[in-house]
Amino acid sequence: MILIAERINGMFTDVKQAIADKDKKVIQDLAKRQTEAGAAYLDVNVGTAAADQEGTMEWLVESIQETCSTPLCLDSQKPGVIAGGLKVINPENGVLLNSTPLNKKSDEEVFDKYIEMADQVGPKANLIALTMDKNGVPQDTDTRVAIAAEIVSKAMEKGFDPQRLFIDPIVLPVKVPNAQVQPTNILAAMDQIKYLADPAPHMTVGLSNLSQGASERSLINRIFLAMAMSHGLDSAIADVFDTALVNAVATAEMLMNKQIYSDSFLKVYKSANK
Ligand code: THG
């Protein structure tokens, strides 16, 4: 499981404050602790408060790279903000550009822009693409799969290896009225998306979206994660400080025969992912 740690996001009050104060320590501490907790990537999202989003992304990337070489997942729907981070990125570490829809009303070419940026960084740059288009986020299985198919074929046309794609079927809060059918739709979409290329494209989700506003957040998140892993999910943007969640990942991998069983499988998973 490729865990993308979610905490360096201006949505959280401590990060928002650190951005306002230009306090590197808070960011660097989160970077180190999430890496120790097993993050393969660190999501970096400037949030909505910063006036200069491009400059903030640049500052966050520089600050993090001073303390660790964990690959970064630059998280913005604005190509300009991603470009701000890419100005200073160390391409040797690998990077994930997060995220682009297939297209949007205000920018038909947005997908092409993200592909171009990834290509400019080099072969270690991967891309998260959302199953979303100018009509918004689909609510059903078939539209999610149809958009994912267009994403894969567009990537192939551009010579972009589908294995560098992480397709995100977009998880929404389960608590929202009438949204309770969505988790099942997403699993059904994953069953098909994994066959769109051989080898399969990666799939990811913003896991914590699912439990926003709910109680029992950790429980909801980890049960869905285990379910989704059995449908081919191989990555998630998630809270790596949630020990129960990380233990669920380790257990699901063991049960899926990706790690040999031993009584100390949890310990083995943790030491392998440090
Ligand atoms: N897909 C992709 N990228 C994404 C998302 C996605 N990036 C952002 C987001 N969604 C994933 N990251 C988070 C981070 C935090 C929360 C949810 C998703 C979260 N935050 C608390 C809340 O809203 O309740 C904030 C609490 C606090 O302030 O302390 O839940 O779907 N590709």
pLDDT tens digits for 24-68? 999 999 999 999 999 999 999 999 988 999 999 999 999 999 999
Angle between helices 24-36 and 13-21 (to 10 degrees): 140
Q: What is the distance, to the nearest Å, from the Cα of residue 124 to the centroid of all Cα atoms in its chain? A: 16
What was the pLDDT predicted at 50? 86
β-pairing verdict for 95-100 and 235-238: unpaired
The model's confidence at residue 94, banded by pLDDT at 50, 70 and 90, is very high
What was the pLDDT predicted at 181? 95
User: pLDDT tens for residues 71-92?
Assistant: 999 999 999 999 999 999 999 9
Domain of residue 11: give its range.
2-273
For residue 208, the CA-to-ligand 1 centroid distance in Å is: 6
- Quick one: average pLDDT of 238-245? 98
| CA–CA dist 236, 175 (Å, integer) | 20
Locate 181 and state its tokens. Answer: 């059918």
- Quick one: average pLDDT of 179-192? 97
In the chain, how many domains are there? 1
Calculated CA dihedral for residues 101, 57, 15, 111, nearest 10 degrees: 0
Locate 180 and state its tokens. Answer: 């309770």
For residue 132, the CA-to-ligand 1 centroid distance in Å is: 17
Residues with CB under 6 A from ligand 1: 6, 9, 11-13, 45, 75, 98-99, 128, 168, 170-171, 206, 208-209, 212, 237
Locate 9 and state its tokens. Answer: 């996001």
CATH of the domain at 254: 3.20.20.20
For residue 207, the CA-to-ligand 1 centroid distance in Å is: 8
